[in-house]
Amino acid sequence: MAPSSSWSLRVAAGIGLTFILLPLAALLLRVDWPDLGTHLAAPVVGQSLRLSAVTTSATMVLVWLLGTPLAWQLARSDHRLTAWARALVTVPLVLPPVVGGVALLMAWGRRGVLGGPLEAWFGITVPFTTVAVVMAELFVALPFYVVAVEGSMRGLDRRYDQVAATLGAGPLRTFFTVVVPMVLPGIAAGSALAWARALGEFGATITFAGSFPGRTQTAPLGVYAALEQDPQAAIALSVVMLAVSVVVLGVLRTRWLR
């Protein structure tokens, strides 16, 4: 027996592991395997998976474009408000998603702080659109990415920036050619977390974007809608989401997250 392990610790660890694996195994047991193809052919399955693929891809592009510079600013800024900004960025991590949805409505809804003028001046309404789905996903996923990437950026020795600067590289060039390549493992880890969070997003989406097949009904909303109408389609859809999540996390783990 390893000196750091005792039977009580191992029992508790075993219970924890079982608690996580049991429902997943139960889901697989309930699948109607012989007719899985038929259930996967239900319109709700393809439609919602396609929408989830599109929206989470768009979300990830925005996460990279906005989250990487944000993480860098938080990691390197010495401004006295930076600590506050760092804390505020993590708020959506602990906020119940449905509250996030209400907050998004208050900001971007037809009567919202920004959404009101947007509709009055440009006739643009955000809620109930695919754009609203991406915004809900971005709201909940971005903090996961920023926290992970900022962590690895802060661990980066400042002398790298300084050497790059003495060699004549501007801040932007230093960022793209020195900083980003060196924190790639952090970016990969943050991306996996953010993507998984975006894929699973439910509360903010149904509150802010509603549920319409093909437009705002993502895979989790599809599971929820189908559960009461066509439970086998809901289970089939759940299994696909489980498989996709396991494959993506598995690939990330072997490539970057060792």
Which residues of this chain interact with other proteins, rule CB under 8 A? 6-9, 11-12, 105, 109-111, 125, 127-128, 206, 209-213, 216-217, 224-225, 227-229
Q: Measured from the CB of residue 109, what is the shortest distance to other proteins in angstroms?
A: 5
Distance CA 223, CA 232 (A): 10
The residue (of 151 and 213) whose beta carbon lies closer to other proteins is 213
Taking the least distance from each CB to other proteins, the nearer of 18 and 177 is 18
Nearer CB in complex with other proteins: 177/229: 229
The CB-of-214 to other proteins minimum distance in angstroms stands at 11
The nearest distance, CB 127 to other proteins, in angstroms, is 5
Closer Cβ to other proteins, 70 or 206, answer by number: 206
Question: Smallest distance, Å, CB 41 to other proteins?
Answer: 19
- Chain centroid to Cα 148, Å, comes to 12
Q: Please name which of 243, 163, 219, 193 lies closest in space to residue 50, comparing C-alpha atoms.
A: 219
Give the ranges where 31-42 is alpha helix by DSSP (H). 36-40
Smaller CB separation from other proteins, 74 or 206: 206
Query: CB count, 10 Å around CB of 158?
Result: 9
Distance CA 154, CA 141 (A): 20
Cβ 55 to other proteins shortest distance, Å = 15
Q: Which of 104/188 has CB closer to other proteins?
A: 104
d(CA 168, CA 254): 37
Q: In whole angstroms, what is the distance from residue 219 CA to residue 44 CA?
A: 8
Select 6 or 38, whichever has its Cβ closest to other proteins.
Answer: 6
Which structure tokens are listed for 258?
A: 């060792």
Contact between 258 and 81 (Cβ < 8 Å) = no
Task: Find the shortest distance in angstroms from Cβ 62 to other proteins.
Answer: 23
CA neighbor of 92 nearest in space, from 149, 129, 135 = 135
Residue tagged 């891809």 (tokens) = 57
Q: Distance from CA of residue 246 to its chain's centroid?
A: 15
Q: How far is the CB of 111 from other proteins (least distance, A)?
A: 4
Signed CA dihedral, 100, 106, 110, 113: sign only = negative
**What number of H helices and E strands is found in the chain?**
16, 0
